[in-house]
A and B are shown apart, each in its own frame.
Chain A
Amino acid sequence: MDDLGFGLWVTFVGMGLVFGLLVALWLLLSLALRFEARGPGAADERRATDEARLATGAAVAPAPERIAIRPTDGGPPPEPALVAAIGVAVALHAESRRLQAAPAMRSYWPGSLLFASRWVSAGRTRQSQSWHRRPR
């Protein structure tokens, strides 16, 4: 029964290849992890995560995590609505800080113009405003 033979052969070779590849991947990973620099790693880590969060485009995403709001004066917990609102605010503000502080090397064109438009423009506005104001 040739088909059955074919099936068994495919199964054998196929599973072999799958396992082989993933084991190779395992070795590759272990190798990579050998050269892990913990300290900076964690730092980069956090940065990467923040960026990834912002990446979702929906600045609202990280709201729940970001805000560990607890009334410092041991008062009652704030309303969920307020919590969410502040969540939005913090996320947006964080994004603005991050993008205004971008190094001169950051490329604004053609992609990042979205951000440029949103926030750098605000910064530029302030710049040119102060320039308008100086005369006075």
Chain B
Amino acid sequence: MTEARNYTAAEILPILSARQLRDGQVVFAGVGTPLLAATLAQRLNCPRLTILFEGGVVGAFVEPGKLPPSTNDQRCTRRANMVLGSSDVLLLLQRGYVDIGFMGGAQIDQFGNLNSSFIGDPANPKTRLPGTGGGNDISSLTNMIVAMKHEKRRFVENVDFITSPGFIRGGTSRHDSGLPAGGMFRVITELAIFGFDEKTRRMKVLALNPGVTREEVQDNTGFRLDFDDEIAITEPPTETELRVLRQLDSERLFIA
């Protein structure tokens, strides 16, 4: 990447993620980048985007400069249409009311499976990670967008532990496991935008971020990547996107 940029890696993630959302969608958002991206989309071109939070919130408009530190904080209920129990908001996913689940990820594999539970052998782990939270429920029950940092150790061929299922072992294995609905839709990183092959369910590059090469993406990935036949180059963040984003996270909790 040779060009000078007026944005950071932590800023491009929510901006590109926000662009994936469509006005009128019902989106179940995790804390951090997903919350920030969904709120950004609401304030840019999706004023009728409905955001659900795991704490039990439907249709919130989070206040600029007051991002919640988790999806279970009162800040998540700002101008909400409805507040309900945590199990009940998760059941809305199961019933099918949600278009998109939107999460961060610590480790992902070629089939879009996410690991946030264990590094190493679960029986005797090198690192015990925080665990699934609602991640397993969300990724089991709806179409997913994941926004995460692109590092080789995070993009692995097969995760040590499937915390949140993507396409499991590819093909029809997700469906065969008892998960007929949903699946990985997009992965957004500071390098590229990824989709999944309709048949093999392996990850493939749909678009490169501005100034990023195919080689750079492949070099930072722990498995062989496919590239879409009609690969695109993503437009860089606009002034408006950056301005609104920085207003939203003026405390710089997530874009520092």
Q: Do A and B come from one complex?
A: no
- Residues of chain A whose beta carbon lies under 8 Å from any beta carbon of chain B: none
- Residues of chain B whose beta carbon lies under 8 Å from any beta carbon of chain A: none
